[in-house]
A and B are shown apart, each in its own frame.
Chain A
Amino acid sequence: MLSSQSDRAGFLPLAQLPSLLAQLRERGYQCLGPTVEQGAIVMREIEPPEDLPRGIQAEQTPGRYRLTSDPLNRYFAWSSGPQAIKPHTFAPKESLWRVERDETGSLQFAAVHPPVVRQAIIGVRACDLAALALQDAHFLREGRRDAHYAQRRDHLFLIAVQCAQPASTCFCASTGDGPTPTAGYDLALAELADGFVAVAGSDQGQAVLDDLNLAWATSQQIEAARQQGASAAAAQTRSLPGRHLRDSLMSRLEHPRWDEVAARCLACGNCTAVCPTCFCHAEADTPALDGAASEHERIWDSCFGEAHGHLHGFNVRADIRGRYRQWLTHKLATWHDQFGRSGCVGCGRCIAWCPVGIDLTEEVAALTEGQP
């Protein structure tokens, strides 16, 4: 059983995977799924004939990501790619509004809305769903609903796939966010040798499952999926302490480890860009060359950048030490105050995609050493 919310699981034979995508297209969804691009698994549109990459694993260690082959020839053996769902909900760059001067010379402001695109994403991981829930908490919070995020979020259909082959950088079991999806999906799949145990997590998901006319999954298949999840959790070698880290970290703001990590950190901001929960952005105006209009844009920003810490006349985080400390303490400590939980879902992207391989779990262990 994949989910406590669902009591009936179907079984989707491997050969029927294209019909699942066809069902979604019929419902007007653009289907995004794993695609190999520049040596990594990225989410791109899949068009018929559906040639999802098969037999690919992603070997990940600090600062290193390599595609390798999966001896079991599975479709979803690649753990996680360089990005979660984030770019599909929180756009890396988009216009929010535009201003034009009309014939009378007065300024006319108009909201710019992204085009409505119904997107289905296949291959979403449990950690990605946990991260999406945190992004929702930020962008869709009561009274401050972000129209651009909301429009894309409302038209998203998510097909989660259990992570059976975590990377060495994964630690979702310790944060309680994986490797088996438990909430936040429309459909959840667990890949077995001959097909997928499939459960619905929403009415739309159930409707898709119903139309596929699947046989029920057998109790052996359901047990195999459960076992697979348990083994994937047990295989994880990294972890974050299960306890609330707020007080430990906030009482160690002058720990020498911050200097030590700052000497290694490039302040490139890659950890924040690949982090599925980071939501910081900058806004800027781009005036048209003829002087008649201007566009107000939002772009991904990072607490590792200079401008992010720039206040009038001074910078609150001029050095790398201050920036790394801000990132880590926000993510793992003050995030609790803001959102009621830690901002880390254990996907390990900040470890794999850090060009110098700084390991968040190692830094936390060093910073909190000797604490109960």
Chain B
Amino acid sequence: MSLQTAHPGKPRVAVHKFSSCDGCQLSFLNLGEALLTLAERIDLVHFAEAGPLDPDTGVDVAFVEGSVSTPEDLERIQHIRAHSGLLIAIGACATSGGIQGLRNQAKGAEWVAQIYSHPEAIASLERSTPISSHVKVDFELWGCPVSGPQMLAVVNARLLGVAPRDNVDKVCTECKRQGYPCVMVTHGIACMGQVTRAGCGALCPSLGRDCYGCYGPAENANTDALAMQFGHLGLTPEAIVRRFQSINSQAPVFLAAANKLRTGSHD
């Protein structure tokens, strides 16, 4: 196993955007110098935020930001899948449907009619869905936004010809390694870290804030136990539902937790 590029020639990489805020692309851009180092080892053929535009070309690695939210998205994701080696979904929108997935629980068409004078000009699907609902996804990077170092690690793993490392542990593991006292234990605030996937470096708890779950569900997320503890901390059932119905509202584990609370079946 060589430490140098496992495949001769530079891999071709594209960064595609679907329904999203561009924040994950910006995380990539914000890498600065590291991105320049990387640019010597890959060919960035399509990355609208950075300049290169060639959305239809075939690539070795395609990063996909955003959720599938419009009829046009439905066709475009199939085209990208067909022309990409590895397809990597990045960010909450691409992995769970994103903040716009909140509309899945609402009557979207009625809203559009109330807000726009020409609702027929709006072409939105009824539901906002993750990339994996439409095509095979090779790897998912969760987060809102994803962290730049995570993206680099994925590209680097590809360059080395190894599988990218996944981290499905809870945010608590990162909090404790960095020595931040638990905000829920010291301040009684409802922190989602115990059910949320690591990767952010415990950013919010580092500032004394509660985690709000933007990295999506961790493995073995015991949402029942956490919801019960939130109740003990004084949150109303509606407030607990909102904790789970935020950035990753459509992630199955968070959605199930919220639905259970809504129907009052939580014991």
CA distance A190 to B3 in the complex (A): 56
In this complex, what residue of B is CB-closest to A306?
B219
Say whether B184 contacts A355, CB under 8 Å: yes
Stretch at the interface among A49-57, A170-178, A289-297: A289-297
Say whether B220 contacts A319, CB under 8 Å: yes
Asked if B229 is at the interface of the complex by the 8 Å CB criterion, the answer is yes
Given contacts A291-B3, A306-B219, contact A269 B182 (CB under 8 A): no
Asked if B226 is at the interface of the complex by the 8 Å CB criterion, the answer is yes
CA distance A286 to B160 in the complex (A): 11
CA distance A66 to B187 in the complex (A): 7
Say whether A300 contacts B185, CB under 8 Å: no
| A264, A269, A307: the one within 8 Å of B225 (CB) | A264
The smallest C-beta distance from B6 to any residue of chain A, in angstroms, reads 10
Asked if B107 is at the interface of the complex by the 8 Å CB criterion, the answer is no
Q: How large is the interface on A (under 10, 10 to 19, 20 to 34, 35 or more residues)?
A: 35 or more
Say whether A40 contacts B181, CB under 8 Å: yes
The smallest C-beta distance from A217 to any residue of chain B, in angstroms, reads 35
Taken residue by residue from 71 to 99, chain B's Cβ proximity to chain A (1 for < 8 Å, 0 otherwise) reads as 00000000000000000000000000000
Say whether B191 contacts A305, CB under 8 Å: no
| B179, B188, B193: the one within 8 Å of A87 (CB) | B179
Say whether A101 contacts B3, CB under 8 Å: yes
B125-165 residues at the A interface, CB under 8 angstroms: 152-153, 156, 159-160, 165
Say whether B177 contacts A355, CB under 8 Å: no
Asked if B173 is at the interface of the complex by the 8 Å CB criterion, the answer is yes
Say whether A65 contacts B193, CB under 8 Å: no
Say whether B178 contacts A353, CB under 8 Å: no
Asked if A236 is at the interface of the complex by the 8 Å CB criterion, the answer is no
Q: Which of B188, B219, B220 has the most CB of A within 10 A?
A: B220
The smallest C-beta distance from A343 to any residue of chain B, in angstroms, reads 18
Given contacts A66-B186, A269-B172, contact A289 B3 (CB under 8 A): no
Say whether B41 contacts A270, CB under 8 Å: no
Asked if A38 is at the interface of the complex by the 8 Å CB criterion, the answer is yes
The smallest C-beta distance from A260 to any residue of chain B, in angstroms, reads 12
The smallest C-beta distance from A310 to any residue of chain B, in angstroms, reads 10
Asked if A352 is at the interface of the complex by the 8 Å CB criterion, the answer is yes
In this complex, what residue of A is CB-closest to B152?
A289
Asked if A356 is at the interface of the complex by the 8 Å CB criterion, the answer is yes
A68-125 residues at the B interface, CB under 8 angstroms: 81-83, 87, 92-93, 99, 101, 107
Say whether A38 contacts B183, CB under 8 Å: yes
A267-306 residues at the B interface, CB under 8 angstroms: 267-270, 273-274, 284, 286-287, 289-294, 299-302, 305-306
Say whether B177 contacts A320, CB under 8 Å: no
Q: Which residues of B have CB within 8 Å of A93? A: 177
Asked if A37 is at the interface of the complex by the 8 Å CB criterion, the answer is yes
Given contacts A267-B170, A289-B38, A291-B160, contact A352 B185 (CB under 8 A): yes
Which 9 pairs of residues, A with B, have the shortest CB-CB distance? Answer: A273-B176, A40-B181, A92-B177, A39-B186, A268-B172, A266-B194, A268-B194, A305-B169, A356-B229
Residues of A within 8 A of B (CB): 37-40, 42, 63-66, 81-83, 87, 92-93, 99, 101, 107, 263-270, 273-274, 284, 286-287, 289-294, 299-302, 305-307, 319-320, 352-353, 355-357
CB pairs A–B below 8 angstroms (10 shown): A38-B181, A39-B181, A39-B186, A65-B185, A101-B4, A269-B169, A287-B156, A290-B37, A292-B3, A353-B185
Residues of B within 8 A of A (CB): 3-5, 34, 37-38, 40-41, 152-153, 156, 159-160, 165, 168-170, 172-173, 176-188, 191, 193-195, 208, 219-220, 222, 224-226, 228-229
